[in-house]
Structure 1
Amino acid sequence: MIVYGTRIKSDIDFPLDLSHETTSRYEVELSSRVPDKFKTFIICGFPAYWAHGRNVYFYSDREFERNEARQPFCYEVADVVRFYWLGGERTIYYELDKEGDSNLLSFWFIHLMLPLYLTLEEQYDFLHAGAVEVEGKPILFIAPSMGGKSTMTDYFIKQGHTLVSDDKVPTFIKDGKFMAVGSFPYHRPYRKAEDLGYHVDNFITDFKPIHVFYVLEGVDESNEVSFEEIRGFEKFDNLLANNIYLFSFLKPKRLKHLSQMLNTIKVFRVQIPWDMERLSEVHDSICQHSKGLS
């Protein structure tokens, strides 16, 4: 299977439809054969966050000042699973806990752990955005929590647009262009804990240059749909807030990546009337606006 442009070889069958033939640029093995050395190496860690009703922890054998070759890491989802790997190596090991099963392993590995690994391995810079294609060009929706990003992505999918990413968009530079990578063919329009949502048949199969960013802003239902180009520091500020896994030792490189991206890709604020009955109008307005950009 291929997710985030990464071919996964695994000793477990994922209970998901990940059969799409998509382009890959990286390869990882997922194995249950955890070497004993990891449990003696891992001595330093902290609670990372609370997500989907679970405590998540991140461990290593040293403080997180850099990602060094063969540095051991452990990503633990309390009571479900622990993932282990060495920096610079392409095998990730997993160990199920008392509540773990193949469904939960699939969710945590694909949705949260693998993006973290790919960030630390400096394969991608991830943006927190929904993304679809309009006439073959990826457009990205950015919004705060409960700001309409998932609803907009869902509506575009149901109008026949190709899904690029539900929530986390991997990006990298190729020939001076900032490429969007497909995540996986599932979408979560309504948040349910430890669930990837519904399967999407129309899913991107190749890496494509990002066309435009749309920052969604909900307004009164009586307002018109309007667009305003965001410039200067505000443009940078909007995307920095949606840059995922901004570790301190990666920050200089990622800030440079983001600055270069915003020098070549336009960002627009789109005011969206807070009225589900007007989604068709919003959809048509965004499509027309996107097509009008060079």
Structure 2
Amino acid sequence: MGKKMIVYGTKIISDIDLPLDLTYDTQVRYTLELSSNVPEVLQSAITCGFSFYWAHGRDVYLYSDREFNGSDIGQPWCYEVEGVVRFYWIGGERTIYYKLDEEGSAGLLGFWLIHLLLPLYFTLEGMYDFLHAGAVEVEGKPILFIAPSMGGKSTMTDYFIKQGHTLVSDDKVATFIDNGKFMAVGSHPYHRPYRKFEELGYRVENFMREFKTIHVFYELEAAAEDATVIIDEINGFEKFNTLLPNYLYMFSYLKPKRLKYLSQMLNSIRVFRVQVPWDMERLAEVHEALCQHSKGVV
């Protein structure tokens, strides 16, 4: 067998060694197996599918044996990254199978498994709810940065990491409820400050190893280079509208559950908008303002 690794609070026992260092000790919620022994009956059960999205320069497809309107126990699934790899699993089971294609490699398998397949799998299996956010710790408490694409959350996350803050997640934050509290799960100890295709980025030694209560959300809003750093609280329905677009995989069959989950989350976690001067030289100022502000949030 290959190395054991922990990703999104899940111990993965694999039959292939991935060229990534995922051997750190952290809190574990689930266990999965990653296997190349794809059952023939599972492959033959796949009968229909659709183009899912385009990502990292490749077409991605999702297949099953039925029209997509939910995820059931025993349902066969296949997630195909054209030319690279096909992942298979059965709903309710905890083994993910893979089959490398002509362009496939251990490196590409690791990237697609960790960065894209697992968040989808955990969502379809009802194990986590994901938010599209960068996240770090300030004095041991997770704070989450949300922003539109190219809105600065990766840059902000990277700056905080380089100031010694603990990384929670580079891009996708897994969450779950524990005794009424909304918990953040560390994703993996890699960060992509610059979005190069099919790379997880550089390894971060200071990585969150326990599940922790989400402390606060910050929506980053680009402002003029000479603007003042302003932090204002978002309230009411605007708070909901701010977070909803950052909820990953809002499948129609999950929508009622998702809306309830998000409403409960926002009843217990405050959300603030940060006007961020669009000037890299002023990141230190923004960093200081956010650190001081987050310490005062109760």
Q: Same fold (TM over 0.5)?
A: yes
Query: For residues 129 and 28 of structure 1, what CA distance do their matches in structure 2 show?
Result: 25
Unaligned runs of 5+ in 1: none
Show the counterpart of 2:173.
169
User: Out of 116, 119, 123, which is 1:119 matched to?
Assistant: 123
Say yes or no: does 1:88 pair with 2:80: no
Question: How far did residue 234 of structure 1 move?
Answer: 1.1
| Letter matched to residue 202 of structure 1 | N
Say yes or no: does 1:252 pair with 2:256: yes
User: Out of 115, 134, 137, which is 2:138 matched to?
Assistant: 134
Consecutive aligned runs of 4 or more in structure 1 exceeding 4 Å deviation? none
Summarize deviations over 1:225-284 as a string: whole Å, max 9, x none. 001111111111111100001111111111111100000000000000011000000000
Query: For residues 63 and 234 of structure 1, what CA distance do their matches in structure 2 show?
Result: 35
Query: For residues 102 and 153 of structure 1, what CA distance do their matches in structure 2 show?
Result: 27
Say yes or no: does 1:39 pair with 2:61: no
Identity rate of aligned residues, in percent? 72
Say yes or no: does 1:282 pair with 2:268: no
Query: For residues 201 and 291 of structure 1, what CA distance do their matches in structure 2 show?
Result: 24
Superposed CA RMSD? 0.6
Query: For residues 13 and 61 of structure 2, what CA distance do their matches in structure 1 show?
Result: 25
Query: For residues 188 and 92 of structure 2, what CA distance do their matches in structure 1 show?
Result: 24
Query: For residues 250 and 181 of structure 2, what CA distance do their matches in structure 1 show?
Result: 22
| Letter matched to residue 210 of structure 2 | D
Query: For residues 72 and 245 of structure 1, what CA distance do their matches in structure 2 show?
Result: 19
Show the counterpart of 2:24.
20
Q: Tell me, what secondary structure is at the counterpart of 2:18?
A: coil
User: Out of 96, 100, 110, which is 2:104 matched to?
Assistant: 100
Show the counterpart of 2:9.
5
Unaligned runs of 5+ in 2: none
Show the counterpart of 2:221.
217
| Letter matched to residue 228 of structure 1 | D
Say yes or no: does 1:144 pair with 2:148: yes
Query: For residues 217 and 43 of structure 2, what CA distance do their matches in structure 1 show?
Result: 43
Q: Tell me, what secondary structure is at the counterpart of 2:22?
A: coil
Q: Tell me, what secondary structure is at the counterpart of 2:246?
A: coil
Q: Tell me, what secondary structure is at the counterpart of 2:131?
A: strand
Query: For residues 152 and 182 of structure 1, what CA distance do their matches in structure 2 show?
Result: 17
User: Out of 157, 161, 167, which is 1:153 matched to?
Assistant: 157
Query: For residues 248 and 10 of structure 1, what CA distance do their matches in structure 2 show?
Result: 33
Query: For residues 86 and 23 of structure 2, what CA distance do their matches in structure 1 show?
Result: 26
TM-score w.r.t. length of structure 1: 0.99
Number of matched residues? 294
Question: How far did residue 64 of structure 1 move?
Answer: 1.2
Query: For residues 102 and 234 of structure 1, what CA distance do their matches in structure 2 show?
Result: 44
Say yes or no: does 1:196 pair with 2:200: yes
Q: Tell me, what secondary structure is at the counterpart of 1:160?
A: coil
Question: How far did residue 293 of structure 1 move?
Answer: 1.0
Q: Tell me, what secondary structure is at the counterpart of 1:112?
A: helix
Summarize deviations over 1:112-161 as a string: whole Å, max 9, x none. 00110000111110000000000000000000001000000000000000
